[in-house]
Amino acid sequence: MNEIVTGSHLDELIRRRGQIVMTLRYLENEQRQVEQNTDWLDQAAYKSRVNLLDGLSDWYATEIGQIDKAIERIESNCYGVCAACHEAIEAARLETTPESELCSTCQELRDGLRCL
């Protein structure tokens, strides 16, 4: 893969990782405020808010993990190669989701297997 393209993907991954870290800090602060607030009139509303914050935090933590793996692939010169079929990942796919570790075909196959 072209070094300039890889460099721009690395920049995008690092930028996105920074955004997620800031978002996770915000969610942690929200979680603290929810837990410290003893004025909840409705226990269901409290649980709903906690579940929402937990779900968002988990989702963002997963995304950081994917980004970290992509950065490791860049550092080890394996970036842009499908982890399943070892063919090049489509450039358009990497433009939209630079953390992709599978080409479109292999990702579709994996998604199809999850539905079974």
Distances (CA, A) of 45 to 24, 51, 54, 55, 113: 21, 10, 14, 15, 36
Tokens (6 digits) for 53:
């914050």
pLDDT band at residue 89 under the 50/70/90 scheme: very high
pLDDT in tens, 39-68: 877 888 888 999 999 999 999 999 999 999
Give me the phi and psi of 19, to 5 degrees please: -60, -40
Residue spans of the domains in the chain: they are: 3-114
pLDDT(2) > 70: no
Q: Which of 20, 111, 11, 1 is nearest to 71 (CA)?
A: 11
Rounded CA separation 30/50 (Å): 9
Q: What predicted TM-score, i.e. pTM, was given to this entire model? A: 0.83
Return the CATH number of 3-114, one of 1.10.150.120, 1.20.120.910, 1.10.630.10, 3.50.50.60: 1.20.120.910
Give me the phi and psi of 88, to 5 degrees please: -65, 140
